[in-house]
Structures are given as structure tokens and as C-alpha cells.
Amino acid sequence: MEKEKDYLVPVGEGIYKVNTGDWRTHQPRLDAEKCIACGICFLYCPVFSIFKVNKQFKIDLSYCKGCGICAYECPHQAIAMIEEGADNEQN
Amino acid sequence: MSRIDVLNGNKAAAWGAALSRPDVIAAYPITPQTPLVEYLTQFVADKELDCVMSEVESEHSAMSVLTGASLAGSRTFTATSSQGLALMYEPYFRAATLRLPVVMAIVNREMISPQTVWGGPQDSLTLRDAGWIQIYCEDNQEILDMIIQAYKIGEDPRVLLPVNICYDGFYLSHLSERVEIPPAKLVDNFLPPYQPKHIKLDPQKPMAVDPLTTGDLLMDYRQKHLRAQQNALEVLKEVTIAFQQQFGRDYFGAVEEYRLEDAEIVLVSLGSMTGAIRDAVDLKREQGVKVGLLKIRLLRPFPLLDVQKALGNKKIVGVIDRNVSFGHNSGILYQEIRGALFGLAKPPNVKPFIGGLGGEDLRVDDFGKVIDQLKDNIDGMPVPYWILRKKR
């Protein structure tokens, strides 16, 4: 955990920088060809890591903990969970 | 001009709080609460005091309301006793670790079981390590004066800590004495409005309160908290002097020495028992016994150097505790004093005395017997020595 400002008490804005994506073991991979942009994954993501960009959904891995809910809920099996470090491909 | 009145300890505390102009008071109004809160409610109803009076459903809620109010920049006050303080334990710790200068009167009452409502500082002494500043009072004038000083100490930017003003239930809370009520203008001059810079809730600027924090950063906050406690020793000295200059009453800082210069035997006291010990010391002095008294006013932060300076070159020290430390076979103050003197080249022989639990009387002749025991038969005394008035 990194401190952004020197606070006397843990009250303020931008207190700590915590990269909660650090402890992920699996990451979601979205197959754009299977995706029908229904938004189910966007609705279910508990950490708001899925965004709509130009009518398409994108996954931001910064805070994704790899819980796999998006992959489980996707009605078209467009999201796969890939083990971290299994390949070097970027999402 | 000060107004002179006859006030019980609770009324004196209510005056001290009202003169400090709190913005928010939150308190639970029923037992173990004392009439202190009733007096404050009356002040508000009579429009003598302009503040938000929140009568909450528990002491836990009282401290939680004040936590929010203090975070938002208010000056705050509350009061509690015994089981109420116990119920408040969780937000009690949080007010200190959030560095909120809340002021709370603790009317010291014995903890159950068995069922009791009478005096004794077991309640607040048990919580001495929860991060608050704790000050113990001897009389009703000191209660009023110390509540005003508590804001001055707690709100100092070098301190920023909550403060307990503790006084014995019934012996002070319900008995009346002559008390000077200083004029409001004088107090306003001494105590400017609270203007926090370290925290301030603002709806226009959302912020996090208490985010989950890892150990390395938590230790950083604890280090700052410990430093603030140590700073309070110096700030209390400054405030004592400033108060003496403006109000004319001297409280001598963290400890008060009485007839100590040439004393060989010293009794150490806390709270309302001090008056009886003063008389016992005077009586024994008339008989030629070199005895003195050290009154501990500030328990947290503990005035280590003051205690070492006052007691370090004495022969015999008897510590009178109106409380027990379960598992140590003595009282709590005894351990504090013993710890402070440990490691000195020639530490005094320190002995533990326990008495006055559950509001039992501690009288002048009791302390006369304590002094005799220390003087005549220190090696033969039971440890701890229980001050008991009735044979069971």
C-alpha cells in the first residue's frame, strides 16, 4: 500500500494507492466476435471494471480481481477466464 | 467578575461545558448517566446554551454522533459512567484514533458485578490505553476549570486528541461545594472557536473516512498518535500557566506536590480521596512524621518525568488505589508508579494499598493508619494492604 499524501488521520481524498488487481490469479478475456454487447457483464461486475466504449464493452484490468462473475453470467460465452501468466497476449 | 455559587460536581461540569460553547452534545440520558446531562438539557431549553442537543438511545450512539459531528468541525461534549462507558468502547477507541478532540466527562462509578452505582474510577482506568487523554479531578472547582482546559489541550494542533475529565461518582458528582463560575467573556478569550485543519467533512468534496489500511501505514498513524500524547505533556503545562494567569487558579501541571520537600514517606493519590490525605498528612506532620502527598492529575499521557522527579529520592511510597488490576494483586495506579520508578539508581520502596471500592468511604484516620503502617512496619505489611473499615 502506498500513501499518496501525508495524513495525520485516515480521513481525506486520495489517501492510499491500492492496486487491487495485484492479487488476481485469472483474468477475463472478451471475445469481440462472440460479444453481442448486451451489457450483462457490465451489470454484474462487482468492482466496476467493465466499461462501454463506442457501443462495445471493454474490461479494465487495473482493479479486476479475476472473480469470474462476468464469464459465468455471459449468455454467449464470450468471456473466458485465463490463468495469469498463461500467455503474454494483452486483452 | 466571577459568580460564586454552591454547585455539585455535575452542575460544575455542566457549567464548564456550557462556557466552552460546544456545537453538539450527544448523550444517553438514563442510568448510569448522572444529572449532568439533565443540567445541560435545561441550559439548552432555557436558551442559555446554543447548541444541538442529541438525546440518543445508547452510549455507543452518543460517541458515534460526536465522531461525525467532530469530523464535520464541531466542538463536542458528552458524559457517561461505568456500564455506559463499557458500551461505548468501540467508538471510544475510534474517536482517539481518528484524532477527534471530543471532551467527555466520566463520572467514575464502580463496574458490576455485583450491582452497584457508587463511586470508583475502575471504569475509566481500565480504558487508560485507548488513546484518550485522561485527567482526574479532586474537587468541583477543578472539574469546571479542567473541562475548559480540556478543549484548549485537546484542540491544540500539536495534540488533537479527545480528553476525559474524570471525577468520583457521588463524592464529587452529587456533593456541593463553593465554586467560582468565570464570566463567559473571559472563557471566550481563553478558548477561541475550534477550527480543525487535519480533518473536515465537506459534501462538496467527498472523501474517505477510515479506509482499510495495512499494518505498515497503521503503524505510521500509531507513531503520530504516541507523539501527540507526549506533546500533550508540554501543552498541559502551557495551558496550566495560561489558565493561572487569566483565571487566577493554579493546578500545578500533571501532578501536584504537597509537603514533599523533606518528606521520607509519600502517599500517591488520584481523585477525590486527595483532600482526606492532605488532612492526614497535616496531622502526622504535627506529630513529627515526615510525610507528603503526590496527587496524580494526568494519567494519560503518564507524566513519567514528573513522577520520577517527585518520588525518585524518597524512601517509602504508598500508592492508594480505589480500583483493582485483576491479575496483578494490586491497583492500577500502583503499577504505573512502580513502572515509572523502576530502573532508578535508588528507587523508593513502593507499596500497594487498595480501598474505597464501590464508593466506600476513605477517611482521614484510614490514611493515618496507612502512614503508621509504612512508618512502623513496612516489612510486615500485607501486600496489597486493604483499607477496610468494617470487620467481616
For the stretch A34-87, pLDDT in tens is: 999 999 999 999 999 999 999 999 999 989 999 999 999 999 999 999 999 876
What is the average per-residue pLDDT within B65-85?
A: 97
What is the average per-residue pLDDT within B316-341?
A: 97
- Asked if B349 is an interface residue toward chain A (Cβ–Cβ < 8 A), one would say no
Instruction: Give the type of residue at B13.
Output: A
Could you please report the per-residue DSSP string of B107-159? Answer: EEBPPPSSP--SB-THHHHHTTTSS-EEEE-SSHHHHHHHHHHHHHHHTSTTT
Nearest to B98 among A9, A13, A15 (CB): A9
In this model, does residue B113 exceed pLDDT 60?
A: yes
Please list the residues that pair with B200 across neighbouring strands. Answer: none
Q: Which three cell numbers stand for residue B378?
A: 513496612
**Secondary structure class of B162 (helix, strand, coil):** coil
pLDDT score for B214:
87
If you measure CA to CA, which chain B residue comes closest to A11? B209
Q: Cell 482526606 belongs to which residue?
A: B276
What is the average per-residue pLDDT within B323-348?
A: 96
Distance from CA of residue B258 to its chain's centroid? 19
If you measure CA to CA, which chain A residue comes closest to B227? A8
In sequence order, the 6+-apart residues with CB closer than 8 A to the CB of B305 are: none
Lowest mean pLDDT among A3-17, B66-80, B192-206, B241-255: A3-17
pLDDT score for A21:
85
Helix (H) or strand (E) holding B203: none
Asked if the Cβ–Cβ distance from A8 to B160 is below 8 Å, we say yes
pLDDT score for A88:
59
Asked if the Cβ–Cβ distance from A1 to B209 is below 8 Å, we say no
Work out the mean pLDDT of chain B and round it to a whole number: 96
Asked if the Cβ–Cβ distance from A15 to B198 is below 8 Å, we say no
Which ipTM score applies to this complex?
Answer: 0.71
DSSP β-ladder status, B163-168 and A56-59 = unpaired
Q: Which three cell numbers stand for residue B236?
A: 498541559
Please list the residues that pair with B214 across neighbouring strands. Answer: none
Helices (H) and strands (E) in chain A, counts: 2, 7
pLDDT band at A4 (very low <50, low <70, confident <90, very high): confident
Q: What gap in Å lies between CA B341 and CA B227, rounded to an integer?
A: 22
In sequence order, the 6+-apart residues with CB closer than 8 A to the CB of B138 are: B271, B272, B274, B275, B295
- Cα B244 to Cα A80, B14, B32, B146, B238: the distances in Å are 75, 21, 34, 12, 10
Helix (H) or strand (E) holding B24: strand B24-27
What is the average per-residue pLDDT within A11-25?
A: 83
Residues of chain A by 3-state class (helix, strand, coil), percent to 5:
10, 25, 65
Torsion of Cα atoms, B323 then B326 then B331 then B333, to 10° = -100
Q: Are B103 and B194 in contact (CB under 8 A)?
A: no
pLDDT tens readout for residues B81-103: 999 999 999 999 999 999 999 99
pLDDT tens readout for residues B236-294: 999 999 999 999 999 999 999 999 999 999 999 999 999 999 999 999 999 999 999 99
Q: What is the DSSP letter of B325?
A: B
**Secondary structure class of A20 (helix, strand, coil):** coil
If you measure CA to CA, which chain A residue comes closest to B157? A8
- Best B97, B199, B220 residue to mutate vs chain A (most A CBs within 10 Å): B199
Specify the higher pLDDT residue, B199 or B110: B110
Could you please report the per-residue DSSP string of B255-308? Answer: EEEES-TT-SEEEEE-GGGHHHHHHHHHHHHHTT--EEEEEE-EEES--HHHHH
Q: What gap in Å lies between CA B363 and CA B388, rounded to an integer?
A: 11
Distance from CA of residue B236 to its chain's centroid? 13
User: How far is it between the farthest Cα atoms of chain A?
Assistant: 51
Residues listed for chain A? 91
pLDDT score for A91:
47
- Cα A60 to Cα A4, A45, A52, A66: the distances in Å are 22, 11, 11, 11
Could you please report the per-residue DSSP string of B2-20? Answer: PEEEEEEHHHHHHHHHHHT
Q: What gap in Å lies between CA B280 and CA B292, rounded to an integer?
A: 10
In this model, does residue B193 exceed pLDDT 80?
A: yes
Nearest to A15 among B98, B160, B208 (CB): B208
Q: Which residues of A touch B (CB under 8 A)?
A: 1, 3, 7-13, 15-16
